[in-house]
Structure 1
């Protein structure tokens, strides 16, 4: 818990190779929503959000993603066990933990999750 908010974090060696950023997001979303219910999940990939809300449609862009990664998440959305919301990448506080950020964005996210940024001069 951080500031009254549950945080789930896991790191492990990949068991399969994602062939696109959307594929990686779909796989991560599938794993993330197994933890608890009800859960609000913010996703910064608009295509992934649309596919989850509209349903799996086999196309050239999704043919490499097994339907099982869509079905579980879509069922949980339908049953209101999770809520999936789009968040612009520039407003995605999770980026603090996954990538190097410009100082201004880093400070914004640190503040946004209730942490303090101590600057030593």
Structure 2
């Protein structure tokens, strides 16, 4: 499963937002990324769609790697269900469900949006909403209180050296 999020205008001097995603397998993080977006998002919804796009691209690559490894080892592929990607932006999720972007304020985001939409239609991904406080990728997009940080770190399978056997 994956988690995607954006920190809107995390760099107010350059007008850039932060993209973050993390993918887990067996409750352990296997892939994650946090980076400044390369273009200026014009709204928090736009920033979220860009972040989701990056997560979807990573997801499709991870699915192909798992499929290749299992095929090479002669194992049956287990990738017959969509990979669940959690997102906390309700507008972004609603647009993914409806399959279109409505309004003049959002029509400029279509290329990335339609890639995400296509992957959902192909049943490679399924975008679901998660409460913002439960979105573990906040680790990579914003400052958090210590207790929330520690909760999220533990939930993606990261441990302190002192906790290892």
TM over 0.5: yes
Unmatched 5+ stretches in structure 2: 1-23, 64-81
More strand by share: 2
Which position in structure 2 is the counterpart of 1:39? Answer: 83
Q: Residues 89 and 4 (structure 1 numbering): CA distance in 2 closer, same or farther, change over 3 Å? A: closer
- Count of equivalent residues: 116
Give RMSD over aligned pairs: 2.4
1:62 aligns with 2:106: yes
1:26 aligns with 2:70: no
Q: Residues 66 and 88 (structure 1 numbering): CA distance in 2 closer, same or farther, change over 3 Å? A: same
| CA deviation profile, 1:61-86 (whole Å, cap 9, x unmatched) | 424x3321221111110110111111
**Does the Cα contact within 8 Å between 1:110 and 1:117 map onto a contact in 2?**
no
- The offset of 1:41, in angstroms, is 1.3
1: CA distance between counterparts of 2:105 and 2:152? 32
